[in-house]
Amino acid sequence: MSLFITKNGLLDTLQDGGRYGFQELGINPGGAMDCIAMRLVNILVGNHPFEPVLEMHFPAAEILVESPMLIALGGADFTAVINGNEIPLLHPVLVQKKSILKFIRRKKGARIYLSVQGGISAQKWLNSASTDLKTHAGGFEGRALKKNDRLFCKETTRSGMAKEGNDFVLFPWEANSGKLYRKNSFRFIPGFEFGFLPGETKKIMLSTNFSISSLSDRMGYRLEGEPLLLARPINLLSSAVTRGTIQLLPNGQLIILMADHQTTGGYPRVGHIISTDFSSLAQLSAGDEFALEAVDINIAEEAMRQQEIDLQQIQNACNFRLNDFFHLE
């Protein structure tokens, strides 16, 4: 079972839930930018939710599906087509061997995820298969995929069901991700240095819109907005930062740390995006605008609890449908 890359994408890497336990050494966690999409595409094909998946940006790779396999796509909508026929996101799809999977046009979102039932074989480094581009470790040879790479997938019995004659079989159920994503505003809990901001600066941070600058990647999103001014500079010793940390740069602009963030930093931490909203943020791209909404830790934890419940329900429903489907065959 294998996937063969027939055309380069912009940045296509294998990612899982991240590499934790080594941040004290300066090794960042990485992992899927949109963890909800990673989990949903895995759940749809009956995998463990944190199985390595292929994360792709636009333009995405062109992929030859060399053997019959059950796949799912989720996250951004890049108009996926199999042998020219569009397939929807968030459905299990049984694909016939020698099919071509292409992504034609970016409709919305920034990152699309591909799962394969049984899992994609990936190299683990420090307990994670996530690709670490800085140290060239993990995933597929520690790098982004390119033309002529072949990804092997673990053999499963179910993929043998693809019948000759059909390019693909679209399973008739989908994972509804509607209430798991937000648009337009993202919640943050105030950071330790938020209290040092002058009143007027706080007001600007809470009431104006910010847009994602083109200098944004898997390490961090640089924002553009009305400059946030300090009464006087804040000099800090470096300390740990985390995914979602909003730092105030000396020029008055903000940066939000994403999956491949540095482990430590010395800029004022004016806020931290709540974990529940990471995936929504991960689907923004340059030029997109949003507002920041301050919440407290209770709201952040309750939002996360609800998200876990919603994902569990989707997982239960998908497992039921998948088992039922294969049982009936």
Summarize as ranges the residues that interact with other proteins (CB under 8 A): 20-27, 29, 125-126, 134-137, 142, 189, 191-192, 235-245, 262-264, 269, 272-275, 297-298, 300-301, 304-305, 307-308
- Give me the helices (H) in the chain, please: 35-44, 199-207, 278-282, 297-328
Q: Which is nearer to other proteins, 308 or 324 (CB)?
A: 308
Q: Which is nearer to other proteins, 261 or 321 (CB)?
A: 261
Of the candidates 68, 71, 14, the residue with the CA atom closest to the CA atom of residue 40: 71
In angstroms, give the least distance from the CB of 307 to other proteins: 8
In angstroms, give the least distance from the CB of 239 to other proteins: 4
In angstroms, give the least distance from the CB of 304 to other proteins: 5
Contact by Cβ (8 Å): 71, 117: yes
In angstroms, give the least distance from the CB of 101 to other proteins: 30
Read out DSSP for 170-199?
E-S-----GGG---SEEEEEE-TTGGGS-H
Q: Which is nearer to other proteins, 295 or 317 (CB)?
A: 295
Residue with tokens 């940045």: 11
Angle in degrees, CA 53, 59, 63, rounded to 5: 55
Rounded to whole angstroms, the Cα distance separating 55 from 114 reads 7
In angstroms, give the least distance from the CB of 231 to other proteins: 17
In angstroms, give the least distance from the CB of 82 to other proteins: 33
Q: Which is nearer to other proteins, 105 or 305 (CB)?
A: 305
Q: Which is nearer to other proteins, 157 or 298 (CB)?
A: 298
Read out DSSP for 95-111?
E-TTEEEEE----EEEE
Q: Which is nearer to other proteins, 245 or 285 (CB)?
A: 245
Q: What is the largest CA-CA distance in the chain?
A: 71
Residues 6+ apart with CB under 8 A from 25: none
